[in-house]
Structure 1
Amino acid sequence: MSFRIRLVRSRPVKLLGNIAMKCWAFSGAYVLACFLLYWLYGGVFAFFLLCFATTVVAGILYHTEDQLLYHPEAPANSRVYVPAPSMYRLPYQSVYTRSGDGTTLHMFFISQPPDKANKVPTLLFFHGNAGNMGHRLQNIVGLYHSIQCNILMLEYRGFGLSQGAPSEEGLYMDARAGLDYLNSRTDINTNEIIVFGRSLGGAVAIDLATKPEYSQRIWCLILENTFTSIPDMAALLIGSKLLQYLPLFVYKNKYMSLLKIRSVSVPTLFISGLADTLVPPPMMTELYKRCRSSCKRILPIPDGTHNETWHQSGYYQNILSFLNELRENPPARELSSHWDIDHI
């Protein structure tokens, strides 16, 4: 769904323009006030007033970061209408669960026929930063039929029909709630749970896999076109190298995946669309290199774009091949060796 790429590139520019205008007007008024106060009362009072102004501007920027990252209302009506799997003739249950802080989350559980639902893997799907989970159903159809798996599609807080507002810690909490839900079911094979994350969902999946109490429940991890961190993406999208020198506390959302991937020990497949113009493919390569799993593979897909890599030939076959090899040769996580880089 290409609208998400355009949204992420164009909307930040517009928002930053609005923020800049507000900050410019605010700063101009304060500079004038400081000058007058300096002339009338001296520099000490003006200095403290200037510090206050700087704090207010920083606060405006800090709390606007959510608008730059999360886009649950694009396209229009995404918060009220979520396309159902039945549109693609998929059997499903519309499920509600509660996250760790009590936030109600909406999910779709799509099951294989009853006679084999407990004999196949179950995939926990984390989507990107815009729209809702229903916008990913075409990809889900391919996974359902090609991989022959059950699928739980989770809708983060503030997206689709889920309650609340998105935040980094909130999304991490929601991911844990999704895995807890799967482990509560008695009709699936909980020994083969796949955690899949694309783009922002990849950062959510990485965090989940770093938690020891949750990583032991994950059979394998699949990451597609995800980034190293939000500070890295901000420097790239805004085009200013100065952002690289800002302290981390300036960022409300950090998603430090490159740092966290070092703690991931579960088998991991990195799917990298080499035609991705939003998240640079070298970020996926860097994540792959830093991952310390004893069983990891990177799958470069030459014509894969950010949101449509799954359209490319060989996509599902290579995922299935990864899962079959994993089943036939279960890796020992304590080993340091890993699989070679594969190409389609």
Structure 2
Amino acid sequence: MVSYVSALLYGVGGIVVAGMALLVAFQEKLVYVPVLPGLTKSYSITPARLRLLYEDVWLRSSDGVRLHAWFIKFLPECRGPTVLFFQENAGNIAHRLEMVRIMIQRLQYNVFMLSYRGYGASDGYPSQHGIAKDAQAALDHLSQRTDIDTSRIVVFGRSLGGAVGALLTKNNPNKVAALILENTFTSILDMAGVLLPFLKWFIGGTSSKGPKLLNFLVRSPWSTIDIVGQINQPILFLSGLQDEMVPPSHMQMLYTKVASHNRECIFVEFPNGMHMDTWLAGGDHYWRTIQQFIENHVPEIKEHESSHDDKDIVYMTNYWMYCTLVFLPLHGNPP
């Protein structure tokens, strides 16, 4: 009996160890899925197919990886705001074009869609360290453009894109005006226990219980809950309560983490929203929520008003100089 139990324990232990080894070896393939089953890495459609006004943009990340992006404008002279959009972990930016088309029509904003390294037409292989560099390259490009209002750049991220966007926003307080997170996880460490329940005893984020003995093996932890606590810009949380991938409780925990120090954050629930279709299930309420958030927290600075004020200052300065030069010699005091 003892030998039988020992053999069983050794067998179970061997399976667990083998499972762990496979998880460690192929974790990037589990986190990043540039090619959906049955499809190719190339784009199925382009913005031209949807009659969108766009520009192919080629960037270089700080480590030299060549990246592709689409900059889609509402109108040729539309200067802002501009949404920097970060997608989920699976597929490529072409699979988000229908949603972006409606976003542009409803909100009348510009949208910049970045293809992470290893995705779409971009070179390289995805990793947390690399994708963070890609996001920074996209923001730096937008910040240097002269055809948009660079003071009104809004980062929008869904799922993995929310983790990417949160990190970028935290690192660029003077370049990002606001952040929108949709159906984003607290961390990949926490998601490991959601997707593979037996892992929750070995891997977990700051909000989980357990020994977390194997956290050091996770190369892409994307600990969003630790990042959002350091963000001071306005944040809008969009949570689909029927999310079948990321438990809605993750979004609530993210909001709770931020709300304790940042009063410019808003949490909105969509009862019928699933992981990928909250924008569709939310209908008009979804788009009005985003529009109101940006109008309230990323207001337009009227150029004609500022120029008018400048003219008033110049006029008054010239007037007093005139009074000083003309009236002072005659009367001793200006009028």
So what's the TM-score if we normalise by structure 1?
A: 0.76
Once the 2 structures are TM-superposed, how far is the Cα of residue 263 of structure 1 from its aligned partner? 0.3
Q: How does 1:24-103 map to 2 (within 5 A)?
A: 60-103=22-65
Q: Determine the structure 2 residue equivalent to 1:156.
A: 116
Once the 2 structures are TM-superposed, how far is the Cα of residue 328 of structure 1 from its aligned partner? 5.3
Q: How does 1:102-251 map to 2 (within 5 A)?
A: 102-115=64-77, 117-118=78-79, 120-211=80-171, 214-240=172-198, 241-243=200-202, 244=204, 245-247=211-213, 248-251=215-218
* SS of residue paired to 2:156: strand
Kindly indicate whether residue 263 of structure 2 is the aligned counterpart of residue 294 of structure 1: yes
Once the 2 structures are TM-superposed, how far is the Cα of residue 324 of structure 1 from its aligned partner? 1.5
Distance 1:58 1:99 in 2: 32
Residue in structure 2 matching 1:308, options 274, 277, 282:
277
* SS of residue paired to 2:68: strand
Letter of the aligned partner of 2:224 in structure 1? S
The structure-2 alpha-carbon separation of the partners of 1:58 and 1:234, relative to structure 1 and needing over 3 Å to count, comes to closer
* SS of residue paired to 1:300: strand
* SS of residue paired to 2:146: coil
Once the 2 structures are TM-superposed, how far is the Cα of residue 150 of structure 1 from its aligned partner? 0.6
Distance 2:141 2:273 in 1: 32
* SS of residue paired to 2:279: helix
Does the aligned pair in 2 maintain the 1:78–1:160 contact within 8 Å?
no
The structure-2 alpha-carbon separation of the partners of 1:329 and 1:153, relative to structure 1 and needing over 3 Å to count, comes to closer
Give CA deviations for 1:212-231 in whole Å, capped at 9, x if unaligned: xx221111100000000011
So what's the TM-score if we normalise by structure 2?
A: 0.78
* SS of residue paired to 1:263: coil
Letter of the aligned partner of 1:132 in structure 2? N
Once the 2 structures are TM-superposed, how far is the Cα of residue 113 of structure 1 from its aligned partner? 1.6
Q: Determine the structure 1 residue equivalent to 2:320.
A: none
Q: Which has the higher contact order (CA 8 A, sep 6+)?
A: 1
Q: Determine the structure 2 residue equivalent to 1:336.
A: none
* SS of residue paired to 2:151: coil
Distance 2:33 2:120 in 1: 11
Kindly indicate whether residue 226 of structure 2 is the aligned counterpart of residue 259 of structure 1: yes
Distance 2:38 2:70 in 1: 21
Once the 2 structures are TM-superposed, how far is the Cα of residue 68 of structure 1 from its aligned partner? 1.1
The answer for unaligned runs of 5 or more in structure 2 is: 1-10, 205-210, 302-335
Q: More displaced, 197-206 or 317-326?
A: 317-326
Q: Determine the structure 1 residue equivalent to 2:7.
A: none
Q: More displaced, 237-246 or 81-90?
A: 237-246
The structure-2 alpha-carbon separation of the partners of 1:171 and 1:82, relative to structure 1 and needing over 3 Å to count, comes to farther
Does the aligned pair in 2 maintain the 1:196–1:202 contact within 8 Å?
yes
Count of residue pairs brought into register by the alignment: 277
Once the 2 structures are TM-superposed, how far is the Cα of residue 166 of structure 1 from its aligned partner? 0.4
Q: Which protein has the larger Cα radius of gyration, Structure 1 or Structure 2?
A: 2
Q: Determine the structure 2 residue equivalent to 1:43.
A: none
Distance 2:19 2:186 in 1: 27
**Alignment RMSD (CA, Å):** 2.2
Give CA deviations for 1:59-116 in whole Å, capped at 9, x if unaligned: 553221111111111143441234201121111011110111000111000012223x
Kindly indicate whether residue 252 of structure 2 is the aligned counterpart of residue 281 of structure 1: no
Percent of paired sites with the same residue? 38
Q: Determine the structure 1 residue equivalent to 2:328.
A: none
The structure-2 alpha-carbon separation of the partners of 1:60 and 1:282, relative to structure 1 and needing over 3 Å to count, comes to closer
Give CA deviations for 1:26-83 in whole Å, capped at 9, x if unaligned: x59xxxxxxxxxxxxxxxxxxxxxxxxx7x9865532211111111111434412342
* SS of residue paired to 1:215: coil
Give CA deviations for 1:280-309 in whole Å, capped at 9, x if unaligned: 111101101111333000111110100000
* SS of residue paired to 1:64: helix
Does the aligned pair in 2 maintain the 1:82–1:160 contact within 8 Å?
no
The structure-2 alpha-carbon separation of the partners of 1:329 and 1:297, relative to structure 1 and needing over 3 Å to count, comes to farther
* SS of residue paired to 2:239: strand
Distance 1:159 1:129 in 2: 10
The answer for unaligned runs of 5 or more in structure 1 is: 1-23, 29-53, 331-344
